[in-house]
Amino acid sequence: MTDMRRPKIDKVTINISLGEGGQKLLNAEDIITKITGQKPVRTIAKKTRPTFEIKKGEPVGCKVTLRKDVAKKFLQSALAIKDNKLDKTQFDKNGNFSFGIEEHTDFPNMQYDPEVGIFGMDVTVVLKRPGHRVEERKIGLRKIPRCHRLSKEDAIVFLKEEFGVEVV
């Protein structure tokens, strides 16, 4: 496979959704900082949901976006937690995939603290081929040909080769 056809990790986004703010949100931010080494950004509720006592504009979670070598390193440890197995349904048609981690204590060097509790997280990975910027830039915007777009099958092959992931 040529260098221009080989997929790359564009970004890895880690999200912890709580549905409430306060001390629980601060604990989640501390955990995500310890795991990734980056400061998280708070996510804000877009709508008011009275049944869940969520008001529009309130912080309801936190997220971190990782890129380049940091993203690759995190993805290796996160996939190891999932025993290097993913389901085909976790991939979309553009080659992106998502999976969940039930407990933050599965990561190395993370212990359970009864005062903090246990938090799960969602991990979303965006894969792109080199040259994808052509479709996103402001000046000289062009469409990417269908043969250069990333597909679900391309992403599965990339994960098998790069990380040794088994797709069931």
CATH label of the domain that carries residue 93: 3.30.1440.10
Q: Which helix (H) or strand (E) segment is 13 a member of?
A: strand 8-17
Q: Are strands 97-101 and 41-44 parallel, antiparallel or unpaired?
A: unpaired
> So what's the pLDDT on residue 1?
65
Residue 23: predicted pLDDT: 85
**CB 95, CB 159: distance < 8 Å:** no
Rg, C-alpha atoms of the chain: 18
Helix (H, G, I), strand (E, B) or coil at 119: coil
Residue 68 lies in a domain: yes
Within-domain flag for 101: yes
Structural domain harbouring 21: 8-167
pTM of the model: 0.85
**32 falls within a domain:** yes
pLDDT of residue 28: 87
Domain annotation covers residue 2: no
pLDDT band at 15 (very low <50, low <70, confident <90, very high): very high
Task: For residue 3, tell me if it sits in a domain.
Answer: no
Say what the pLDDT of residue 126 is.
93
Asked if residue 1 is part of any domain, the answer here is: no
DSSP string, 4-42: TTS-EEEEEEEEEE-S--THHHHHHHHHHHHHHSS--EE
Domain presence at residue 163:
yes
* Number of independent structural domains in the chain: 1
Quote the CA–CA distance of 62 and 16 in Å, as a whole number: 5
Mean pLDDT computed over every residue of the chain: 86
155 lies in a domain?
Answer: yes
Q: What percent of the chain has pLDDT over 90?
A: 26
List the Cα angle 43/101/25 in 5-degree steps: 35
Half-sphere exposure of 147 (CA within 13 A, CB side): 1
pLDDT in tens, 59-111: 888 999 999 999 999 999 889 888 888 989 999 998 899 999 888 877 777 77
